[in-house]
Structure 1
Amino acid sequence: MHIQRTVYRDDHEMLRESARRFFERECVPRQAAWDAAGQVDRETWLKAGREGLLCLTVPTEYGGGGGDFGHSAVLIEELHRAGISGWSLGVHSDIVAPYIVRLGTEEQKRKWLPDICAGKTVLAVAMTEPGSGSDLKSIRTSAVRDGDEWVINGSKTFISNGLQCDMVAVVCKTDPAAGAKGCSIIMVEANREGFRRGRKLEKVGQSAADTSELFFDNVRVPVGNLLGEENKGFMHLMEELPQERLVIAVYSAAKLERMLELTLEYVKERKAFNQTVWDFQNSKFKLADIKAQATAVRLMVDYYLGEHMRRRLTLQEAAIAKLFATETLCKCIDDMVQLHGGYGYMLEYPIARAFVDMRVTRIFGGTSEVLRELIARQL
C-alpha cells in the first residue's frame, strides 16, 4: 500500500512526468560514460536548461521556472528514483542560485541568472577548507579590499561541480578579527587570473561527481561581486542551510522507497535452498522493519516539505529531517545489501551503488554529529 501524498499540487505532478522522461531518456544511458569521465557532460546541462529543468524556483523574469520548492523537490525525487549518480544539480539550482535570487542586486540577477538557468553557467559553492571541515568559523580564505576590487587568497576542498563550474560562491574572511561575524560571500568567475582547480578527488562513491579542490592566488574580482552584505556571510549561510538539508532529506526518502521496491523484486525472484529468499521469515521481518522506517521517513519529510513551502521550516526542524532521513537510509540500505547476498556487493546492482553513493549523506550538508549538537541546543 502506498502512502497518499498530499504535499504536492497538480502542477508539481505534471513536472514529475516530464522530469522522469528526461532522466530516463537523457541521463540513464549516459551514467557509465559520466562515471568513466568523472563528470557530467556539458551538453546534458544545456539540455536540462532547454527543457526548463534548472533553477525551478528562480523567477521567470530571470529565465527560471518561477515555481516553488515543491517543484524542486519533485525534480530531486525523480533524479534519485532514476538512479542518477553524481550530478550535482541541487548545488546549482537549489543552493547557489537561491543565494543570488535572495541576496543579489537587480544588476547581479539580470547579469548572472539567465545563463545559470540555461545551463551555460554552472555554479558551485566553496565553503569547506582543508583544515576546517564543518567549522565555518575557522575559514581562512581571505578577501582584502583594494580600491574597487577584492583580492582573494586561500584554498577550498570537497567542492561539488568544482572541475566544470563557471562561477563559484566563495565564503571568505573579510574581517579576520571578527570570527564568524567577519565572513562574506563573493562570486568568483572561473576565468579570473589566479583561480586554479586542483585534482579531482577520488571518492568512495558518486564517481560522476566532479568534486575537487579550488585555489585562489591573488584572484581579483570587482567589489560588485560581493553577494549580500559585507561581513554578514555567516548569517546568509545560516538562512539557506535549512533548504540545503531538506534537499538531502527529500532524496533520502525517495532513495529509500526505491531501494525497497527493487529489493522486494529481487528477494521474490531469487532462489536459495529450494525456495525464494522472500520465503524465509528473516527476510519478511527485515523488510517489514524497512517498510515501517521508510513510511516514518516519508511522513516526516513530507510534513517538513510542506512547512518549507509555507516558509516556516526552522533550522532545528531541517536538522531533524536530515539526521533522521540519512541515518535511517544508510541503516536500511545496509540491511538490503545483506538480503541481496553476494550480488549486493556488485556495483551493477542498484543496491550496491546506493550503498557507496549514499554514505556521504551523513557527512555533507552538516555531519550527523553537528546536527545532533544543533538539535540539542534547542532542548
Structure 2
Amino acid sequence: MSHWIFTEEHKIFRKSVRKFIEKEVTPYVEQYEEAGETPRVLFERMAELGFLGIKYPEEYGGLGLDLVTEMVFLEELSKCGAGGTGAAIGAHIGIATTPIWRFGSHEQKEKYLVPAIKGEKIAALGITEPSAGSDVSSIATKAVREGDHYILNGSKTFITNGVNADFIIVAAKTADSLPHMSLSLFIVETAWEGFSVGKKLDKLGWRSSDTGELYFENMKIPVENMIGEENEGFKKIMVNFQWERLTMAFTSVALAEKVLEETVQYARDRKQFGDSILQFQVLRHKLVDMAVDIEKAKNITYRAVEQYGKGVNVTTEATMAKAYAAEMVNRVCDEALQIHGGNGYMMEYPIQRYWRDARLQPIGGGTTQIMREILSKRLKITDGF
C-alpha cells in the first residue's frame, strides 16, 4: 500500500533501487550466506551508484538527499532475501558513519566519511560489550589520555562489519564519573597496533553479514580521532540510537511486506484437495491479519521518520516504532512459516531464512524489554505516578 510520506521522486528512486537489487544482489544471496559476509565489491558497486552517501552532503561526495530516500534504499535492500546484507550496508551508512557526519570535524569527514561514501573503507560501530548490551552505562572499555594520544583497552562483541571493517567508531570511558558524563567516541583504525578480532561469530540469522568480537590492547588513538568533546559521547550515542531504532523498525516493515507477498503467492499456488489453499477462509483471514499488523507498524514508523527528518526529538516515537515493528515481523514470519507447512521447515524454501533473520529485530538496537522500560519512563508509567 502507498503512503503519504513518499514523493514521486521517492517512488522513482525505489524503482531504480529495486531493479539494481534484483539484478546485482538477489542472485548472489546464497553465496553471501555461505561466506558469512557481504563482499567488498558490493560496497564498491553501491558506492558507484551513490547509495552509500544518500543523506550525506555533496561536499563529501554524498547525494545530499533526505532521510526518507535513505529509508527507501534500506527498505528495498531488506527485501533482497538476506537480512545480513541489509544489516552490513545499513550498519555502514546508518549507524557507523552517521556520528562522523553529525558530530565529526571537517578533517575527520575528509579522512573517514569520504572514503566510506566511495566504498573504499568499511565502517562499524563498537558499542556493545559482553556485559554492556542495551545498557550503555555498563561500558567498561577505557581510554586514558597520555600526551597527544589516548591508550585504549577493552573489548566489544556482536559488532556488525567488525571482522572486515577498516575503521570502527568506539565508545569508551574517559572519566570515572556517571555514565552520561564519562563516555567518549573515537574513530579507531583496525590496521593500528593493538587491535584484534577474537573470532567471527556464527549466527542463527543475518548470516550474510560478518559479526565479530573485537579487542583493544594498549592501542594508541590520536587525540584528533575523538569525535566531538571528551565525555560527551553518551548524548551522541542517544541521538544515534533514534535513527538506528527507526531503521530497525522500517526494515522490519519491509521484510514483513516481502514475507506477506511471497506467502500469498505460495498459498495461491499450493494445491490441497484439488484447489488452491486460498479456498480456506481461516487462511485468508490469517493473511488479512498479517496485512493489518504490517500497516499498524508502518504508520507508527513512518510518522516517526517524518518527524525525525524535521529535527524533532523522537525518542518516544522511535522507541514505540522499534518495539512494535520488531515484534510484528516475528508474528508475520511465524504465521507465514506455518502457512507453508512442512515446506516452511525445509532449508530450500526462503521463508526459513526470513524467519531466522526476523528473530534478531527484537534484540538488536535495544531489546523489546528495554524499549518498554524506556517508554514506561517517557510516558511516566512508573511507581508513584
* TM-score with structure 2 setting the length: 0.95
Among 45, 53, 56, the alignment partner of 2:54 is: 56
Give the residue type in structure 2 aligned to 1:260.
L
State the distance in 1 between where 2:294 and 2:138 align.
Answer: 37
2:72: which partner in 1? 74
**Alpha carbons 2:301, 2:318 under 8 Å: kept:** no
Q: Which runs of 5+ in 1 are unaligned?
A: none
Q: Give the match's secondary structure for 1:165.
A: coil
1:274: which partner in 2? 274
Counterparts of 1:306-317 in structure 2, within 5 Å, are 306-317=306-317
Q: Give the match's secondary structure for 1:187.
A: strand
2:163: which partner in 1? 163
Q: Give the match's secondary structure for 1:229.
A: coil
Q: Using the TM superposition, give the Cα deviation of residue 313 of structure 1 relative to its aligned residue in structure 2, in angstroms.
A: 4.5
Q: Give the match's secondary structure for 1:340.
A: helix
**Alpha carbons 2:185, 2:226 under 8 Å: kept:** yes
Q: Does 1:9 align with 2:3?
A: no
**Alpha carbons 1:55, 1:97 under 8 Å: kept:** no
Give the residue type in structure 2 aligned to 1:20.
R
**Alpha carbons 2:36, 2:207 under 8 Å: kept:** yes
State the distance in 1 between where 2:25 and 2:212 align.
Answer: 22
State the distance in 1 between where 2:257 and 2:350 align.
Answer: 13
1:20: which partner in 2? 18
Q: What is the percentage of aligned positions where both structures have the same residue?
A: 37
User: After superposition, what is the alpha-carbon deviation per residue over 1:39-95, rounded to whole angstroms, capped at 9, x for unaligned?
Assistant: 111111111111111021110110112111011100011101222331211111111
Counterparts of 1:33-182 in structure 2, within 5 Å, are 33-87=31-85, 88-182=88-182
Q: Using the TM superposition, give the Cα deviation of residue 299 of structure 1 relative to its aligned residue in structure 2, in angstroms.
A: 2.1
State the distance in 2 between where 1:123 and 1:213 align.
Answer: 15
Runs of 4+ deviating beyond 6 Å: none
**Alpha carbons 2:82, 2:208 under 8 Å: kept:** no
Q: Give the match's secondary structure for 1:243.
A: helix
Q: Using the TM superposition, give the Cα deviation of residue 348 of structure 1 relative to its aligned residue in structure 2, in angstroms.
A: 2.8
State the distance in 2 between where 1:178 and 1:260 align.
Answer: 46
**Alpha carbons 1:122, 1:167 under 8 Å: kept:** yes
State the distance in 2 between where 1:259 and 1:336 align.
Answer: 7
State the distance in 2 between where 1:338 and 1:176 align.
Answer: 52
State the distance in 1 between where 2:373 and 2:356 align.
Answer: 26
Counterparts of 1:205-354 in structure 2, within 5 Å, are 205-354=205-354
Q: Using the TM superposition, give the Cα deviation of residue 201 of structure 1 relative to its aligned residue in structure 2, in angstroms.
A: 0.6
Of residues 344-353 and 354-363 in structure 1, the stretch that sits farther from structure 2 once superposed is: 344-353
Q: Give the match's secondary structure for 1:131.
A: coil
2:195: which partner in 1? 195
Q: Give the match's secondary structure for 2:361.
A: helix
Given the superposition, is the C-alpha separation of residues 328 and 46 from structure 1 closer, same or farther in structure 2, using an over 3 Å criterion?
Answer: same
Q: Give the match's secondary structure for 1:54.
A: helix
Q: Give the match's secondary structure for 1:177.
A: coil
Give the residue type in structure 2 aligned to 1:167.
F
* TM-score with structure 1 setting the length: 0.97
User: After superposition, what is the alpha-carbon deviation per residue over 1:185-217, rounded to whole angstroms, capped at 9, x for unaligned?
Assistant: 011001000100121111111111100100001
Q: Which runs of 5+ in 2 are unaligned?
A: 380-385
State the distance in 2 between where 1:179 and 1:10 align.
Answer: 45
State the distance in 2 between where 1:247 and 1:313 align.
Answer: 16
State the distance in 2 between where 1:338 and 1:313 align.
Answer: 39
Give the residue type in structure 2 aligned to 1:170.
V
**Alpha carbons 1:27, 1:84 under 8 Å: kept:** no
Count residues in correspondence.
377
Of residues 203-212 and 23-32 in structure 1, the stretch that sits farther from structure 2 once superposed is: 23-32
Given the superposition, is the C-alpha separation of residues 291 and 255 from structure 1 closer, same or farther in structure 2, using an over 3 Å criterion?
Answer: same
State the distance in 1 between where 2:41 and 2:209 align.
Answer: 16
State the distance in 2 between where 1:254 and 1:223 align.
Answer: 41
Q: Give the match's secondary structure for 2:177.
A: helix
Q: Using the TM superposition, give the Cα deviation of residue 371 of structure 1 relative to its aligned residue in structure 2, in angstroms.
A: 0.2
**Alpha carbons 1:175, 1:183 under 8 Å: kept:** yes
User: After superposition, what is the alpha-carbon deviation per residue over 1:131-170, rounded to whole angstroms, capped at 9, x for unaligned?
Assistant: 2221111111000101100110001000000111000000
Q: Give the match's secondary structure for 1:259.
A: helix
**Alpha carbons 2:71, 2:247 under 8 Å: kept:** yes
Q: Using the TM superposition, give the Cα deviation of residue 100 of structure 1 relative to its aligned residue in structure 2, in angstroms.
A: 0.5
Give the residue type in structure 2 aligned to 1:46.
E
